[in-house]
Amino acid sequence: MTEDNTAPIIEFSNVAKRFGPLTVLDDFNFNVRKGEKVTLIGPSGSGKSTVLRILMTLEPFQDGKLTLSGMSYHEPNGKGPFKASERHLRQIRTHVGMVFQSFNLFPHMTVLRNVVEAPLRVLGIARAEAECRALQLLDMVGLADKKDFYPSQLSGGQQQRVAIARALAMRPRVLLFDEPTSALDPQLVGEVLSVIRGLAHEHDLTMLLVTHEMRFAREVSDRVCFFDKGRICEQGAPDEIFGAPREARTREFLSSVL
Ligand code: ADP
Ligand code: MG
């Protein structure tokens, strides 16, 4: 079977997301193609994290449809074949990895165990193979020598690099980053961005990144989406969005952060 590389790997169709009376996403439509590197920028509270959390199946939504890697889920209006079962959600989750602002490593596990745990338990990979792959990934992020350390013994930048290795250990097709450098001291930002920059060269990996690092976004993205109040207000190539934004809201936002 040949894969259609032009078909979107992520497809939000008319998605609505509410928290009680607060509507965060309303009739939200958004596609990402396989291998595309897309950055979401926009003011705090505009719904960027919610989009990533829905993709990671951490948040349910109230209406519309999400398709990921050809698997659709949550069609509560009864238009589709199912409302996602736990099993189906688990299956979707194995295609997506997420790196959070706050690292979220398991504090009681060594660096190596943090990386091998999910492949062992969720994918059922044999320990020797999982450890071999974990060491390769730790080497890639420059931390093989820290494999027996605990998270509390590492700097924030090192912890975030472990978190990236951990996400990659599941061999995700889609990697989500939610402000991966926002919690870091300024001198530690560069080492994390340089790991993400390396991943951005991986042709097959689809990346969706929320960041306030505008220079970095301009450098690594195929497409930048300016997000405001739950909508994509403007999107385009990085040079268009940063060099010649069309919308007044985009210009206003960029002048506040650049
Ligand atoms: P961003 O990542 O762009 O800063 P978020 O997606 O985190 O925005 O939040 C969008 C809106 O949803 C905000 O108004 C936020 O307060 C609200 N929100 C997010 N998570 C919850 C939650 N669990 N319960 C209630 N409101 C939430
Ligand atoms: Mg956020």
Q: What is the DSSP string of the chain?
A: ----TTSEEEEEEEEEEEETTEEEEEEEEEEEETT-EEEEE--TTSSHHHHHHHHTTSS--SEEEEEETTEEE--TTS-SS-PPPHHHHHHHHTTEEEE-TT----TTS-HHHHHHHHHHHTS---HHHHHHHHHHHHHHTT-GGGTT--GGGS-HHHHHHHHHHHHHHT--SEEEEESTTTTS-HHHHHHHHHHHHHHHT-TT-EEEEE-S-HHHHHHH-SEEEEEETTEEEEEE-HIIIIIS--SHHHHHHHHHH-
pLDDT tens for 68-117 read 988 887 655 545 444 667 777 788 888 999 999 999 999 999 999 999 99
Q: Are 225 and 232 in contact (CB under 8 A)?
A: yes
**pLDDT at 6 > cutoff 90:** no
Residue 88 token pair: 């189906």
- The CA 227 to ligand 2 mean position distance, Å, reads 11
| pLDDT value for 81 | 45
With a threshold of 0.90, tell me whether the complex ipTM lies above it: yes
Ligand 1 atom closest to the CA of 53, numbered from 1: 6
| pLDDT value for 116 | 97
**pLDDT at 226 > cutoff 70:** yes
| Mean pLDDT, residues 42-49 taken together | 96
Q: Are 210 and 48 in contact (CB under 8 A)?
A: yes
Choice from 15, 49, 101 to test ligand 1 binding pocket (greatest atom count within 8 A of CB) = 49
Surrounding ion ligand 2 within 5 Å at CB are 49
Report the nearest-CA residue for atom 27 of ligand 1: 19
Helix (H, G, I), strand (E, B) or coil at 39: strand
| Averaged pLDDT score across all residues of the chain | 92
Distance from C-alpha of 256 to C-alpha of 67, rounded to nearest angstrom: 34
| Mean pLDDT, residues 171-180 taken together | 96
Closest CA relative to residue 146, chosen from 136, 158, 156: 158
Report the nearest-CA residue for atom 6 of ligand 1: 47
Q: Please, which pLDDT band fits residue 60 given cuts at 50, 70 and 90? A: confident
Q: Please, which pLDDT band fits residue 258 given cuts at 50, 70 and 90? A: confident
Report the nearest-CA residue for atom 1 of ligand 1: 45
Report the nearest-CA residue for atom 23 of ligand 1: 19
With pLDDT > 70 as the criterion, what percentage of the chain qualifies?
Answer: 93
| Mean pLDDT, residues 205-230 taken together | 96
Q: Please, which pLDDT band fits residue 147 given cuts at 50, 70 and 90? A: very high
Q: Please, which pLDDT band fits residue 1 given cuts at 50, 70 and 90? A: very low
Choice from 40, 50, 179, 232 to test ligand 1 binding pocket (greatest atom count within 8 A of CB) = 50
| pLDDT value for 93 | 84
Distance from C-alpha of 51 to C-alpha of 98, rounded to nearest angstrom: 12
- The CA 44 to ligand 2 mean position distance, Å, reads 6
| pLDDT value for 3 | 53
| pLDDT value for 24 | 97
